[in-house]
Chain A
Amino acid sequence: MTLLSVEDVYQSYGEEQVLKGVSFEMEQGDVDVLMGPSGSGKSTMLRCINRLTDVDSGDIWLNDTHVTAPETDVNELRQNVGMVFQDFNLFAHLTALENITLGLKRVRGMDPEAARERAHEHLEQVGLSDQAGAYPAELSGGQKQRVGIARALAMEPKLLLFDEPTSALDPELVGDVVTVMQDLAAAGMTMLVVSHELGFARSAADDIHFLDEGRVVESGPPEQLFEQPEHDRTAAFLSGLESGER
């Protein structure tokens, strides 16, 4: 069943055209990775899907919700689309647990006790039960990002967006976050991930979409893109990543 469908999306910031007709589809349970040089429009693409950014033209559908229609309730949409940020964006004045319960209480309308219970379950899922009472400033980058993932998961979204989840992390902390993401992928979560983490892409991605200058240059399963890319741009970019050993 098609969960997400992106159809010919254009987007610009002022004069600058960022997305120039992007289209792709994701099935329920798919894990897709967006790759491409900086400025190619990957993050903008993600932000269009939960309406943090509005498209100029084109359509995005999440199941039968017309995401890009002006009358769509964005707050309701965002309950179904979780997002994990590059620089975590944990609520700085709330503990790890409270970061998760805020949305459950204020958006989902859960009572505080039930919200705490669910938050604890998700902290356990990301291996941070013992940090429930810690404030973001007391956590390492990897721990922060895992709380960020738990915060998004707790809302039980249909689709989880990751915006370069590991690129602000020290190299030795990347592993923990990638492991959590791999577990999620294995559990059947539908995930759209902007990342240059090759290990994750190889092991978990169903499809990789290679973006350049606002267009999808090439899409396909990892083995195809890594072993026999059709386009020179793709080949050059991916071999550049591999030689950088990221």
Chain B
Amino acid sequence: MSAEEPSAVEEVSVAAGVETDRPWALLALAVFWGWLAVRWVNDFLLPEAIAFPRDQPFVPVEPVAAAADYLGSVAASLGPVGAPVDVLAGLAGFVAGSLPHLPALARGAWLTIVLTVGGMALGFVLAVPLSVGRVYGGRGLRWLSLSYTELVRGTPLLAQLFVLYFGLPLTQVIRELPGVGAGPIPAQAFWVAVIGFTLNSAAYQAEYIRSALESVDAGQLTAARAVGLSRTEGIRYVVLPQGLRYAIPGWSNELVYLIKYSSLAAFITVRELFFQAEAIANDTFRYTELFLLAALFYLALVISASVFMSWVEARTTIPGIGGRRRA
């Protein structure tokens, strides 16, 4: 057996560990994402003529409602013994009440996901230079980077979104851009939210990456310099590849936070998941049910995110760096 083989086996078991830990959650997530994907393709991409009617649930409401009624009457006839059946009836009733709203929530979930992923990805692009400037920059750069992170982390995200949306002439500028608000491309509020989440997330991510960079042994950069790499190259090819691996756990945390914080975009009129749930609740007065439903969506998104990040962590683990299963 060569030296590489045991580590390869271990690698696979780390990746597989993600799946064997929570098979039921994974099955539920597969159904959730399968349904979302079909819904999006149907509602956004397929021409009206051949598409399943938009705004109509794939599962018909009537049989579920009838089942709920039937179970309710059974429970009533059983008297006190019927309590468990009553719970089932309530569950069926919840499902029957939820089904008609699922298409709208799927549309909202799309925006929530794009907002979160976009904010994270663009925020990451800003966070890397911010954190490198903070750790390796001169006095000016360090000060600039520190001020930015403290300003952003020290003020409420909602206030930041309000400043961007109401305070700055940003919306007018974005509105004039070609394509904005046309067809499947969201209107200006969405883009303001993406900018807001990017700027906000960059500050938090920069903090995670900064502490990860600081945990990379100083000898690594010294060795890179001794080989003849410039300081910038040493940071780029030696320090960052290690630091970013150390940053993954904190980074997963930030992703989970941002999924939930993206609901604040509702306050600047972005029709994301929370906005949709609230709008429907306002129409139907079924607040508890709709917010419970929205909560289940967020829960599914958050669990998906943590499964995904475990996978990323397992994929990028190198012996001696990162990974939860190796000492």
Question: CB of B56 within 8 A of chain A?
Answer: no
Contact, CB under 8 Å: B219 / A137: no
Can you report 12 residue pairs joining A to B where beta carbons are below 8 Å apart?
A50-B226, A52-B222, A83-B226, A89-B223, A92-B220, A92-B242, A93-B238, A93-B321, A107-B227, A130-B2, A131-B3, A135-B318
For the complex of A and B, 4 pairs with smallest distance between CB atoms = A137-B320, A89-B223, A103-B227, A89-B219
Contact, CB under 8 Å: A85 / B219: yes
Contact, CB under 8 Å: B220 / A138: no
Among A89, A90, A136, A151, max chain B CB count under 10 A is at A89
A contacts, CB < 8 Å to B: 50, 52, 74-76, 78-79, 82-83, 85, 87, 89-93, 102-103, 106-107, 130-131, 133-138, 151-152, 155
Q: How far is the CA of A37 from the CA of B224 in the complex (A)?
A: 28
Q: How large is the interface on B (under 10, 10 to 19, 20 to 34, 35 or more residues)?
A: 20 to 34
Q: How far is the CA of A130 from the CA of B5 in the complex (A)?
A: 13
Question: CB of B62 within 8 A of chain A?
Answer: no
Contact, CB under 8 Å: B233 / A85: no
Measured between beta carbons, the chain A residues less than 8 angstroms from B229 are: 75, 102-103, 106-107
Question: CB of B7 within 8 A of chain A?
Answer: yes
The number of A-B residue pairs with CB atoms under 8 Å apart is 82
Measured between beta carbons, the chain B residues less than 8 angstroms from A107 are: 227-229
Near A by CB (< 8 A), chain B positions 119-162 give none
In the complex, how many angstroms separate the beta carbon of B239 from the nearest chain A beta carbon?
A: 10
Q: How far is the CA of A102 from the CA of B320 in the complex (A)?
A: 19
Contact, CB under 8 Å: A155 / B220: no
In the complex, how many angstroms separate the beta carbon of B192 from the nearest chain A beta carbon?
A: 38
Which of B220, B228, B233 meets A91, CB within 8 Å? Answer: B220
Q: How far is the CA of A52 from the CA of B226 in the complex (A)?
A: 7
Measured between beta carbons, the chain A residues less than 8 angstroms from B226 are: 50, 52, 78, 82-83, 85, 152
In the complex, how many angstroms separate the beta carbon of A36 from the nearest chain B beta carbon?
A: 22
Contact, CB under 8 Å: B227 / A138: no
Contact, CB under 8 Å: B228 / A78: yes
Question: CB of B13 within 8 A of chain A?
Answer: no
In the complex, how many angstroms separate the beta carbon of B242 from the nearest chain A beta carbon?
A: 5
